[in-house]
């Protein structure tokens, strides 16, 4: 299996599971024991992934609830998943993409780092759109079609607004587009000769290098937007800290 986490896609949503019971009665100790048992049954990456996707896709509504209530609903839904005859999952490549992008950036491989950062951005926004479309009760196919048939610029601007998500700050939006455009230029490399004394070329190179130095702030900002919108600021508490530390393939800042 690749180094990413695993989580439930929109296909495994309201039709098969229904929404969680929003009046949980589990005691805190029972919740913790249930989560630990489920972690052993399905693995920490799958447990955390399912918990996050349940909230993203609206199967669990975090509004006005404390973390214990949300965890009880996570237990309730994952119990249904474990008992289901078929288990649906997909691979989350974003942790691996981010680790490699950071490593390459530190080594001075700016263009390749930009390629991986831009891929992380697109994975992030596609998953975001899929979740928002699911909350609007679009079919899974419709959600996929949106991501396939709209440009990156459209997905990070009017598509998100149309689906009810908060607009991305212009400064971060510009960085997203700059890195993404650099990625496209690198992937579709034309081997065009350039004058070594071309001042414009030097400025473009420095601009990309500065964007890569600032990209961490933009990633933290995007995660903060997502945490506020879906998780009401409670994403880190979905599973106990001890299970978060055991989750392979995810950097410590993944809950951002």
Residue 99 scores a pLDDT above 80: yes
**Residue 5 Cα to chain centre, angstroms:** 11
Q: What is the DSSP letter of 91?
A: E
d(CA 131, CA 9): 9
* Element counts in the chain: helices (H) and strands (E): 12, 2
Interval 3-36: pLDDT, tens: 444 444 444 444 455 555 554 555 777 887 888 8
Q: From its phi and psi, is residue 48 left (phi > 0), alpha (psi between -120 and 50) or beta? A: alpha
Residue 2 scores a pLDDT above 50: no
Residue 243 scores a pLDDT above 70: no
What is the average per-residue pLDDT within 78-100?
Answer: 86
Interval 138-197: pLDDT, tens: 998 999 999 999 999 999 999 999 999 999 999 999 999 999 999 999 999 878 777 777
Residue 43 scores a pLDDT above 60: yes
In a 13 Å sphere around the CA of 92, the CA atoms on its Cβ side amount to 25
User: Which residues, 6+ apart, have CB-to-CB distance to 223 below 8 Å?
Assistant: 255, 256
The pLDDT value given to residue 1 = 40
End-to-end CA distance of the chain: 25
Contact assessment for residue 6 and residue 79, using Cβ atoms and an 8 Å cutoff: no
The pLDDT value given to residue 120 = 98
What is the average per-residue pLDDT within 118-134?
Answer: 96
More confident residue, 51 or 109: 109
| Residue boundaries of the structural domains of the chain | 5-90+233-251, 94-231
The pLDDT value given to residue 21 = 54
More confident residue, 234 or 167: 167
Contact assessment for residue 199 and residue 235, using Cβ atoms and an 8 Å cutoff: no
Pick the CATH number of 94-231 from 1.10.1060, 1.20.120, 3.40.630, 1.10.10: 1.20.120
């Amino acid at each position: 299996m690749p180094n990413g986490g695993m989580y439930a896609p929109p296909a495994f949503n309201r039709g098969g599971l229904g929404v969680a019971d929003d009046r949980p009665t589990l005691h805190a100790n029972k919740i913790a024991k249930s989560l630990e048992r489920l972690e052993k049954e399905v693995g920490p990456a799958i447990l955390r992934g399912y918990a996050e996707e349940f909230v993203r896709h609206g199967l669990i509504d975090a509004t006005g609830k404390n973390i214990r209530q949300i965890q009880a609903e996570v237990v309730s839904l994952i119990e249904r998943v474990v008992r289901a005859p078929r288990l649906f999952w997909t691979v989350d490549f974003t942790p691996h993409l981010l680790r490699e992008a950071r490593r390459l950036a530190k080594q001075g491989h700016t263009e390749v780092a930009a390629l991986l950062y831009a891929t992380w951005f697109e994975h992030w926004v596609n998953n975001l759109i899929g979740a928002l479309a699911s909350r609007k009760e679009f079919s899974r196919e419709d959600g996929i079609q949106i991501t396939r048939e709209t440009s990156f610029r459209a997905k990070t601007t009017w598509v998100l607004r149309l689906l009810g998500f908060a607009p991305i700050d212009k400064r971060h939006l510009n960085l997203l587009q700059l890195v993404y455009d650099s990625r496209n230029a690198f992937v579709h490399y034309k081997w065009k000769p350039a004058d070594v004394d071309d001042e414009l070329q030097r400025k473009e190179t420095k601009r990309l290098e500065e964007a890569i130095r600032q990209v961490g702030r933009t990633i933290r900002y995007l995660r903060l937007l997502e945490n506020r919108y879906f998780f009401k600021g409670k994403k880190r508490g979905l599973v106990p800290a001890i299970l978060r530390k055991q989750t392979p393939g995810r950097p410590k800042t993944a809950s951002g």
